[in-house]
Structure 1
Amino acid sequence: MEKAAENVDAGAAAQLQLQLKLFGSWASSYTHRVQLAMRLKGLAFEYAEEDLGNKSDALLRHNPVYKKVPVLVHDGRSLAESVIILQYLDDAFPASRQLLPADAFDRAVARFWCHFGDDKLGPAVGAVFASTGEEQEAAVRQVHENLALIEAELREGAFKGRRFFGGDELSCLDIMHVCETGIFVGFNGLMSEKLTLCSSYQRVDH
């Protein structure tokens, strides 16, 4: 009976995974976050590539508020915003590899730095790519200041002595910042003012 129950549970989990569909774009680091997370968790999903210049009716239907990727559809219900999706995947699939710490305080700290990435670092990087000359130089300085804060946290703060932000394994924070470093590397050749990754920050990219 116990073996039969295990088989039923495994079958139900597989069926649940097959109901996952991700709308994304190859050019979106936010999409890459969700793709990487789902692969680390071993979740099967359908992927729909979006043309961001001609968004599909399905994307607009599933994300009528922001009208952007990524969007995760699970059993007909949709979620937007990459960090929210990553947190949901932990809650919806507790038997899979967890991306956030089990400890409540550590989990709150991780969420704080996730918010920092999207609220401070991401917009600063966007400003670099959207500007030129002195404005771009100022934007690059802002990026470096934000990276220095992460550097300090890695060296002396909550993440001191860890191989990754999450400890010995990749976590939600590592996923976010690995995807960000890909943008730095990809676009540095296009700019006169270079972005330089801090030494500890580079560890999550190797």
Structure 2
Amino acid sequence: MEDEVILLDMWASHFGMRVKIALAEKGIKYEHREENLENKSPLLLKMNPIHKKIPVLIHNEKPICESLIIVQYIDEVWRDNSPLLPSDPYQRAQARFWADYIDKKVYPCMRGIYSGKGEEQEKPKEEYQEVLKVLEGKLGEKPYFGGDSFGSVDLSFVTFYSWFYAMEELGNFSIKAQCPKLVAWAKR
């Protein structure tokens, strides 16, 4: 019997894109169902009754919510191809830490930059630049955050890369000048 995999998502969601990339990396076939967040489907409300948010992965009628948890689930269930998390428990814990750091730091700063005006943008802009410098330090000279291959930390951050240039424009600063290693990483 083939697995039934459904992804409830919205085209503009960074978090949903993360799940799509994980599924693609693993070569998993799935049905994509676009959600309208102004008029949430009965299926979304049933599968994520607590938060009522996307993305939701439905695997054989069982829902998994929250993108980082979904990525970990995908990696555990389909572990035979393209591992996303390291096999070593310490390295796996570190990867989870950095993925969580990205979620808790990058997105809130970006939201502050694009939703603020003038002075309101200054604090999130400064925080965003500091977070990027921390991530560049973590990347170091490695091609990927985990070393030689694409993994869960890269997956967590890559969906935010598409906003680099918008953040530069809105915040009037240069990521390329401040974090050239991150820009090079994103072009891999």
Normalised to the residue count of structure 2, the TM-score between the two structures is 0.92
Cα distance change, pair 30–137 in 1 and its aligned pair in 2 (3 A): same
Task: Tell whether the 8 Å contact from 1:144 to 1:195 is kept in structure 2 after alignment.
Answer: no
Cα distance change, pair 95–116 in 1 and its aligned pair in 2 (3 A): same
The partner residue of 1:199 within 163, 180, 184 is 180
**1:128 — aligned with what?**
113
**1:158 — aligned with what?**
none
Q: Does 1:80 align with 2:65?
A: yes
TM-aligned CA deviation for residue 185 of structure 1: 3.0
SS in 1 for 2:165: helix
Q: Could you tell me how far apart the structure 2 residues matched to 1:25 and 1:187 are?
A: 22
Task: Tell whether the 8 Å contact from 1:125 to 1:143 is kept in structure 2 after alignment.
Answer: yes
Where does structure 1 lack aligned partners over 5 or more consecutive residues?
1-11, 156-160
The partner residue of 2:53 within 47, 58, 68 is 68
**2:144 — aligned with what?**
164
Identity value in percent: 34
Task: Tell whether the 8 Å contact from 2:110 to 2:167 is kept in structure 1 after alignment.
Answer: no
Q: Which amino acid aligns with 1:33?
A: R
Q: Number of aligned pairs? A: 185
**1:140 — aligned with what?**
125
TM-aligned CA deviation for residue 90 of structure 1: 1.0
What RMSD, in angstroms, separates the aligned Cα atoms of the two structures?
A: 1.6
Cα distance change, pair 188–54 in 1 and its aligned pair in 2 (3 A): farther
**1:89 — aligned with what?**
74
Task: Tell whether the 8 Å contact from 2:15 to 2:67 is kept in structure 1 after alignment.
Answer: yes
Show CA shifts across 1:3-37 (max 9, x none): xxxxxxxxx5xx02xx0100011110101000011
Q: Does 1:185 align with 2:170?
A: no
Q: Which amino acid aligns with 1:204?
A: W
Q: Which amino acid aligns with 1:63?
A: N
When structure 1 is superposed on structure 2, of 50-59 and 99-108 the one drifting more is: 50-59
TM-aligned CA deviation for residue 204 of structure 1: 2.8
SS in 2 for 1:61: helix
Task: Tell whether the 8 Å contact from 2:113 to 2:124 is kept in structure 1 after alignment.
Answer: yes
**2:84 — aligned with what?**
99
TM-aligned CA deviation for residue 77 of structure 1: 0.6
Task: Tell whether the 8 Å contact from 1:99 to 1:172 is kept in structure 2 after alignment.
Answer: yes
Q: Which has the larger radius of gyration?
A: 1
When structure 1 is superposed on structure 2, of 83-92 and 122-131 the one drifting more is: 122-131
Where does structure 2 lack aligned partners over 5 or more consecutive residues?
none
Q: Which amino acid aligns with 1:23?
A: L
Q: Does 1:108 align with 2:87?
A: no
